[in-house]
Structures are given as C-alpha cells and as structure tokens.
Amino acid sequence: MTNMQFAKRLQPLQSNVFADMDRAKAVALAAGRQVIDLSLGSSDLPAEAHVIEAIAQSLHDRSTHGYLLFNATQGFREAAANWYEQKFGIKVDPQTEVLPLIGSQEGTAHLPLAILNPGDFALLLDPGYPSHAGGVYLASGQIYPMPLQAENAFLPVFADIPAPVLAQSRMMVLSYPHNPTAAIAPLSFFQEAVAFCQQHNLVLVHDFPYVDLVFEETGKWADSSSNPKSKIQNPKSLVPSILQADRQKSVSIEFFTLSKSYNMGGFRIGYAIGNAQLINALRQVKAAVDFNQYRGILNGAIAALTGPQSGVKTAVATFQGRRDAFISALHRIGWNVPTPQATMYIWAKLPSAWSQNSIEFCTQLVKQTGVAASPGAGFGKSGEGYVRFALVHEPPLLETAVERIAQFLQ
C-alpha cells in the first residue's frame, strides 16, 4: 500500500474528548459493566409531537424530496427572525441576516474559512467547545486560548491578550451560557466584548445553544448591567444575546440550534443571525459544501419555533430537577460543587488527588464503575482539574451514578 500524504491541518484534529471517552465506554461495556453515560450533552428528552407531525407530513409530499436552495428556505428564515425578535426585541431581516445551518456546529466550523487567512489568530475560550478549535484548524488558523478561571466567574480577561497576538487576530468566539463550565455572562460583559472587537477590528462570534436552558433564579443576575433599561430590552430571556450589545450588528454573528431547547439534536438543524456581510460570507462557504437541510426537517423546525413553547418550559424544569438531585447527591458524599445557573452540565473541581489528571480520572471511573464523564482537559488546558457531567438521565439514575462515584473515590 502506498504511503499516503495527508494535509498538516488534520494533525490537531486527531484527538477528541468525545471519541476518547467513546473508546473507554466501549471497553467498560465489553467488560460487562452497566454504563451510565454522563459524558455527552445529547438530550434524552423527545421532540414535541407537533414537531414530529410536521416532519411526518412532509415525507409524503414529493415536492420536499429535491435539493433545497437558499430562496426556498424563506419560511424557516422568517420563523427564526420572528422568534428572535419576540425573545430579544431586536428586528432581524430574514433575507440578509439569517442563515439556516445543518446544526450550529456546522456554522461555527465553517465560519473561520470565511474569515481567517492561514496564520491568522482566533481568540477562543479555554476551556471551550472542541468544534470551535476544529474550524480554526481547518482554516489553517492559529488559536490563542483565553483562560477562564473560577475567580473571574469563567469570563475571559481581554486585557491579558498579548499585543502581538491581537495584531494578527481576526475573530473572537464566545459562548454563554458556557459549555463546559455552565457559566453565564451579563450584558455588561457583552458590551465590553463588542467594544473590544470594534476597537481591534475583530469578528465577534457568539455560540448560543443554551439560550433557553437557564433556570429561573438566574433572572435577577443575568442583566447585572449598568443599563437600567436592560430588563425591558431582554423581555423573554434570562440571558442576553450578543446583538443586544451590538444592536447595529456591526461586528457580530450569533449561532442558534434546536438541539437543546427543542430536543432535536439528531435532526441537525440550527441557524445564524447577525451582520449581513458575515451571513453572506458564511453562505458562500456553505454553497460550496451543501444544499441545506431537508425541507421536511425545516418544516419541523418552523413548527418548533412558531408553535406552543410549553415543551421548552418542561425541558428546562426537567434539567433543573436533575441538577438539584445530582448536586444534592454530590454534596451528601462530600463533593462540594457549586450549583450552575444554566445548561445541562455540572462542572466539578476534581478532588486534590486527581487535580492534574482529569483524563485518568474519567478513564478509571468508567472502567471501575461504568459512570462515564468528560475530562476537563479535553476542553482545553485551563479545563484540567475539572470534570464535566451531563444531566442526561432521570434523577434516580443520576443518584445511582453518584453512589458509584463515592465508592470509586473511597
């Protein structure tokens, strides 16, 4: 067999936290363990019946079976624009400021191709979601990790970015509520980020999958902005949108998904809203890669965005109940973890014996107990010393997982 030569850009993509844990889970299963998988943030809740019905009806409509070009996505783009305006009170042009995506991860991975030249820097959160880095590597860009520390409420400190890096930087990626730390950001932080990106001519990307997975007690904190009208500007969301800090959409683009709010992860449907030039640039990249999502899935997404929102409230209440059960169980075994205000994750500081080896902790935990979690180091250097648990099972199983963790720690 010939010795194939592959592009250098593949080298940094060879290790992946989810793939590594997948192998460890397979070993545990092969050894006969019952695996309780808390490693992947894939909701176990079902999509709503009216969403499934809209997709089911589409399957029998022959006109949905062909390629779907941009103009034919108009109905979905209008639904997304209306949903956004109702939630955040900011007008969006569905023609120029909305783009359908095959999941928001597709958008965050493709956008660097439209922004970065080889060698340009992207400023990414550390720890952060792995696909943000993947897109930069595919674009032959460089990554400057912005460390997130508990003492800074897991928000980056822009003043710490070195001037030579800033001179070569083209984009910054934020994501709050944050995966993996579950931190949330106030509007005042987003205002600071927008001003910083305007000053340094950076594109500001905000990945916003957990827009709805925010727990009610957060409301009093989310808008700790100096703007006394911020509550009015944010009528139906407990966390701010980046475009509330960049109302002219001067430098910003925001990514949304139906995976978390509407339990449609497997349907792979999301969208971008933001600066018209950025939307158009991403559209040009997409045009070389795909013909959009199947129209039937777009019809399901329209039903989700425009139909009853009671399912979203049910999902939030479900994850809040799971959070409370899991945190209480951890506290009972002496693992004092702070209570997150958003997302479906618990970000737990490891006991001192494991503080510099989160990968070994997770590998041994699943091997010995069947409980699978994600090592903090898999999300970036600053994630070392932590582990992420995804709340994707009912409380009794979560409590069983904590009992097994207790045995492992002893």
Question: Which residues does the chain have with pLDDT short of 70?
Answer: 1, 217-235
Are 219 and 253 part of one and the same domain?
A: yes
For position 382, which CATH number holds?
3.90.1150.10
Bridge partners, residue 256, by sequence: 271
pLDDT at residue 19, rounded to an integer:
77
Q: Are 260 and 276 in contact (CB under 8 A)?
A: no
Residue partners of 348: CB distance under 8 A and separation at least 6 = 330, 335, 337, 386, 387, 388, 389
Are 375 and 232 part of one and the same domain?
A: no
Q: Are 179 and 149 in contact (CB under 8 A)?
A: no
Are 185 and 55 part of one and the same domain?
A: yes
Using a 10 angstrom Cβ sphere, with 0-12 exposed, 13-18 middle and 19 or more buried, the burial of residue 262 is buried
Q: How many domains does the chain divide into?
A: 2
Q: Domain containing 337: what range?
A: 9-46+311-409
Q: Choose one of 306, 323, 347: the last residue of a domain.
A: 306
Are 153 and 266 part of one and the same domain?
A: yes
Question: How far is the C-alpha of 370 from the C-alpha of 34, rounded, in Å?
Answer: 6
Are 150 and 293 part of one and the same domain?
A: yes
Do the domain assignments include residue 1? no
Picking from 100, 230, 236, 254, the residue whose alpha carbon sits closest to that of residue 176 is 254
Q: Choose one of 275, 306, 337: the last residue of a domain.
A: 306
Order of strands across the sheet with 270-274? 98-101, 270-274, 252-257, 203-207, 169-174, 121-126, 142-147
Are 283 and 255 part of one and the same domain?
A: yes
Q: Choose one of 306, 336, 365: the last residue of a domain.
A: 306
Are 40 and 189 part of one and the same domain?
A: no
Q: How far separated are the first and last CA of the chain, in Å rounded? A: 51
Question: How far is the C-alpha of 202 from the C-alpha of 144, rounded, in Å?
Answer: 14
pLDDT at residue 13, rounded to an integer:
86
Are 299 and 318 part of one and the same domain?
A: no
Question: How far is the C-alpha of 141 from the C-alpha of 74, rounded, in Å?
Answer: 33
pLDDT at residue 1, rounded to an integer:
64
Do the domain assignments include residue 323? yes
Residue partners of 166: CB distance under 8 A and separation at least 6 = 200
Within 10 angstroms of residue 351's Cβ, the number of other Cβ atoms is 12
pLDDT at residue 252, rounded to an integer:
98
Q: Where are the alpha helices (DSSP H) in 223-267?
A: 230-233
Paired tokens of 270: 């999301």
Strands 169-174 and 203-207: what pairing? parallel
Q: Are 370 and 28 in contact (CB under 8 A)?
A: yes
Question: How far is the C-alpha of 99 from the C-alpha of 255, rounded, in Å?
Answer: 10
Do the domain assignments include residue 200? yes
How much is the pTM? 0.93
Are 56 and 158 part of one and the same domain?
A: yes
Question: How far is the C-alpha of 90 from the C-alpha of 74, rounded, in Å?
Answer: 19
Evaluated on CA atoms 130, 135, 140, 143, the torsion sign reads negative
Determine the number of helices (DSSP H) and then strands (DSSP E) in the chain: 14, 12
Paired tokens of 259: 């995976």
pLDDT at residue 20, rounded to an integer:
76
Are 57 and 150 part of one and the same domain?
A: yes
Do the domain assignments include residue 4? no
